[in-house]
C-alpha cells in the first residue's frame, strides 16, 4: 500500500511527474490532502485531477487514508473520542479537545502499549505494533473531519510510548509542522521515559527536523523511586534521579524546557510531603509541572484527588519556586481516559 499522506509537496510533484503529469498536479494533490474541509479522503474525490490519472493512482495502490471510523463518543464538554480501525484490523484511539480558540488532537503512536502503567487502560492489552507515519497523521484528518475544524495543537499522549516509535514520530512531526502548518511549539511529546531515548530524541530531531522546538513532557507521576515503581513497572529500569539528569541534558541540547506530568492519585502521591519532595527533586531546573486530575476508569483501583487537595499540592510547589499548572481532565462522562474506548470495544 502506498499512502500519500505524509508526503511533502516535492514528493507529490515527483509522483505526478512519474505518471507523465505536470508538477502542478502534485501540488493539487497536496492542497487537497491537507485541506481539513475535504471530508472524503478517497482519491476519486480529487476532481481537479484528470480521471485517467486518478484511476492509475488507484490501480497502483495509492491511498490517502486507511483508517476507518469504528466508534465515536462525544462528551458534554465537547471532547470527541474516536475509535479507528487499521488496515490489519487493529484498533487505535484519538481525541479532539476543543476550546473556543483551539482544537487539540491527542494522538496515538502505537497499537496498545508495552509500558503497563497501572493507572492506564491501554497497557492492559500490551503492545501489538507501532504505527506508521500515515496512520499517525490520519488521526488528525479523522478529528478534523468529524469536528469540522482545523487542528491547532498536537499532543502525543494517546496510546503507546512515542519514544519506542521514534522515527515515525519525528517524520509525523515533520509533516504536522510543514504540511499541516502547525508550529512545533504547539506540539507536545509525552513519554513515560525510556533509558537512553531522550538523547536519541534530541539527536534525531536535529537530523530529521533540523531543530527541536516541540515540548517534551515526562510522565513522572511520583516524587521518589519507590512510589514510581508501584504505578509504573518499567520505572525499575530507569531511576528517577537519572530521568532528571537526562532531562537536564535535553534542555542543554535543545534549549527547550521540559514539562513533567504528575497524575494526582488519592493516597498514593498526593500528600504535602510528596509536593515538597518533588520540589527538591526539580529545584534549579528549567522545567514546568502539570498536575493532572485523574480520569477514573473501572479497570484499576486508583481514585481521584479532590480539587481542594489538588490546589494545596499546587500551592506548595508554587511556593517552593516550581512553575506549575493544573490540568483538569476532559471527557469524563464519555470514556476519554487513554485506552478505555478500545478496551470497551474488545470486551464486547
Cell of 232: 509504573
Separation between Cα atoms, residue 232 and residue 128, nearest integer Å: 19
- Taking Cα atoms as reference points, which of 27, 63, 48 lies closest to residue 141? 63
Please report, for residues 48, 89, 138, 143, the alpha-carbon distance to residue 70 in angstroms, rounded to integers and kept in the order given. Answer: 30, 11, 14, 13
- Taking Cα atoms as reference points, which of 99, 179, 98 lies closest to residue 137? 179
Separation between Cα atoms, residue 102 and residue 316, nearest integer Å: 30
Instruction: Report the catalytic residues.
Output: 93, 338
Separation between Cα atoms, residue 46 and residue 112, nearest integer Å: 34
> In 91-141, which ranges are E strands?
91-98, 103-106, 110-112, 127-130
- Beta carbons of 172 and 110 less than 8 angstroms apart: no
| Farthest CA pair distance, the chain | 69
**Cell 494522538 found at:** 107
H or E element: which one contains 263?
Answer: strand 258-264
- For helices 240-254 and 272-282, angle between their N-to-C axes, nearest 10 degrees: 40
- Beta carbons of 158 and 131 less than 8 angstroms apart: no
Separation between Cα atoms, residue 63 and residue 43, nearest integer Å: 7
Separation between Cα atoms, residue 312 and residue 318, nearest integer Å: 10
DSSP for 243-292, please give it: HHHHHHHHHHHHS-PEEEEEEE-TTTT-SHHHHHHHHHHHTTSSEEEEEE
- Total residue count of the chain as it appears in this document: 348
Cell of 217: 513532557
Amino acid at each position: 500500500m502506498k499512502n500519500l499522506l505524509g508526503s511533502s509537496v516535492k514528493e507529490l510533484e515527483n509522483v505526478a511527474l512519474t505518471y507523465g503529469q505536470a508538477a502542478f498536479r502534485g501540488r493539487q494533490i497536496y492542497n487537497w490532502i491537507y485541506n481539513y474541509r475535504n471530508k472524503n479522503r478517497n482519491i476519486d474525490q480529487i476532481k481537479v485531477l484528470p480521471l485517467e490519472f486518478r484511476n492509475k493512482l488507484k490501480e497502483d495502490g495509492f491511498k490517502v487514508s486507511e483508517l476507518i471510523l469504528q466508534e465515536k463518543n462525544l462528551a458534554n464538554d465537547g471532547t470527541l473520542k474516536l475509535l479507528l480501525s487499521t488496515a490489519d484490523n487493529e484498533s487505535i484511539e484519538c481525541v479532539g479537545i476543543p476550546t473556543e480558540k483551539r482544537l487539540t488532537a491527542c494522538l496515538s503512536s502505537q497499537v496498545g502499549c508495552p509500558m503497563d502503567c497501572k493507572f492506564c487502560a491501554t497497557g492492559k492489552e500490551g503492545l501489538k505494533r507501532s504505527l506508521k507515519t500515515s496512520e499517525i497523521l490520519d488521526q488528525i484528518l479523522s478529528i478534523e473531519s468529524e469536528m469540522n475544524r482545523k487542528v491547532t495543537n498536537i499532543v502525543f499522549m494517546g496510546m503507546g510510548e512515542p519514544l519506542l516509535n521514534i522515527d515515525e514520530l519525528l517524520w509525523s512531526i515533520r509533516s504536522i509542522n510543514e504540511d499541516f502548518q502547525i508550529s512545533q511549539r504547539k506540539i507536545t511529546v509525552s513519554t513515560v521515559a525510556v533509558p537512553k531515548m531522550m538523547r536519541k530524541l534530541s539527536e534525531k530531531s536535529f537530523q530529521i527536523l533540523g531543530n527541536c522546538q516541540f515540548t517534551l513532557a515526562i510522565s513522572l507521576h511520583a516524587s521518589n523511586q519507590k512510589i514510581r515503581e508501584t504505578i509504573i513497572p518499567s520505572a525499575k529500569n530507569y531511576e528517577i534521579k537519572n530521568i532528571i539528569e537526562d532531562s537536564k541534558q535535553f534542555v542543554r541540547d535543545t534549549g527547550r524546557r521540559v514539562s513533567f506530568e504528575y497524575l494526582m492519585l488519592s493516597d498514593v502521591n498526593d500528600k504535602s510531603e510528596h509536593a515538597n519532595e518533588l520540589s527538591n527533586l526539580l529545584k534549579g531546573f528549567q522545567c514546568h509541572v502539570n498536575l493532572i486530575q485523574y480520569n477514573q476508569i473501572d479497570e484499576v483501583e486508583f481514585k481521584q484527588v479532590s480539587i481542594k487537595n489538588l490546589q494545596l499540592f499546587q500551592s506548595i510547589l508554587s511556593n517552593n519556586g516550581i512553575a506549575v499548572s493544573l490540568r483538569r481532565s476532559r471527557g469524563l462522562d464519555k470514556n476519554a481516559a487513554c485506552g478505555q474506548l478500545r478496551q470497551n470495544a474488545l470486551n464486547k
